[in-house]
Amino acid sequence: METKTVLVTGIGGNVGQGIVRNIRDSYSNVNIVGVDVARFTAGNHLCNRTYQVPYSFDPSYIPYIQKIIGQESIDIILPSTDYEVYYLSLHKSVIKSMVVVSQVEVAKRYLDKYESYLYHLEKNIPFAKSWLPQDFDYSESNIIAKPRKGRGSRGVLINPKNIKDLSNDYMIQPLLKGKEITSAVYATKSGSLHGTFTMERELSFGTTSRSKTTFQYDEQINSIAQKIIDCGGMVGSFNIQSIVIPDNTVVPFEINCRLSGTSSIRHNLGFKDVKYTLQEYLFDQLPDMPNPMDGMAIRIFMDVIYPHATDESELNNNCSQYILY
């Protein structure tokens, strides 16, 4: 069988590294090319080769990607960040490789949390009530202000004093009290709901640090996911971030139309959405049926150590001697 080559973006982050680990576990003979805005990252040791690229909004980003596609004979691209999903989708027609991204209007909508809210309101899909700062009506005493296009918890403000001083780059939502859950969804090529997988989670610096499988909210999550898919344009794996309020109602507050940072956890708990993506788009196979199971996970720190290394520019693949400790 011809060796396939996958390009994974954002390998300096936990999402990209999770994608790479899942590919390695599913297909040991697949070549992995990783890219990141940093030359030397914690994901370098996982890849056959890595490249430093500009930020996705830089005009030179797509030409860089095109060059790598030619040099490495890339068969498929799996982006790991929201901005890369958008820009790769925007330029998909000229990219000389398969790119697994949602349609550009979908990627753009879910890049902006306030636009996500307006769209869900229009389509009668649950979403946390949201305002622009200038439109906030003070109907909620406890609020959270967040960048409309923020990542993780960067820039988040709890109960800010001078709401009207915030720019419209921010949005306001109620500070909902309850259990935070993260739900992965996989939509097939044919546009059907293949499955969902939900975990309760705790966050540290904007990413999941502890998680536990839950099936309690599957009926609500499946209904929300189906409505999103039925609207069209959503491709492959996407993620619904929600709060479960005290009456057990699931209230989504953010949608990410990409593989999420917990893919490595759920891969080992029976929901292998990275594998499903490659089965459908790289190997033209039907994806395995999900088999979600109970489980818990906690994340730890590890070191990638390169003995005797003196130049990080040489540590751009998995051939360098390294120690995981």
Give the integer Cα–Cα distance in Å for 13 and 97.
Answer: 23
Return the half-sphere exposure (C-beta side, CA atoms, 13 A cut-off) of residue 193. 18
Element (H, E) at 19: helix 14-26
What order of strands is seen across the sheet that includes strand 157-158?
A: 157-158, 143-147, 170-174
Please give the pLDDT value at position 255.
97
The CA radius of gyration of the chain, in Å to the nearest whole number, is 20
Q: Which domains does the chain have, with CATH numbers?
A: 5-100 (3.40.50.20), 107-112+177-298 (3.30.470.20), 130-174 (no CATH)
Please give the pLDDT value at position 44.
97
Residue whose C-alpha is closest to residue 214's, from 272, 291, 270, 296: 296
pTM of the model: 0.94
- What are the C-alpha distances in Å from 89 to residues 9, 131, 146, 162? 14, 28, 25, 37
Please give the pLDDT value at position 4.
97
Return the half-sphere exposure (C-beta side, CA atoms, 13 A cut-off) of residue 55. 4
- Low-confidence stretches of the chain (pLDDT beneath 50): none
Give the contacts of 114 (CB within 8 A, at least 6 positions apart): 130, 132, 148, 171
Place of tokens 């189906």: 226
Task: Indicate the residue type of 203.
Answer: L
Give the integer Cα–Cα distance in Å for 307 and 298.
Answer: 28
> Which tokens is 312 given?
């990080």
Please give the pLDDT value at position 45.
97
Average per-residue pLDDT for the chain: 95
Give the integer Cα–Cα distance in Å for 222 and 128.
Answer: 17
Q: What is the pLDDT of residues 7-42, one digit of tens each?
A: 999 999 999 999 999 999 999 999 999 999 999 999
Please give the pLDDT value at position 152.
63
**CA distance from start to end of the chain:** 35
What order of strands is seen across the sheet that includes strand 236-244?
A: 250-256, 236-244, 179-187, 193-204, 207-213, 296-298
Q: What is the pLDDT of residues 106-154, one digit of tens each?
A: 999 999 999 999 999 999 999 999 999 999 999 999 999 999 997 666 7
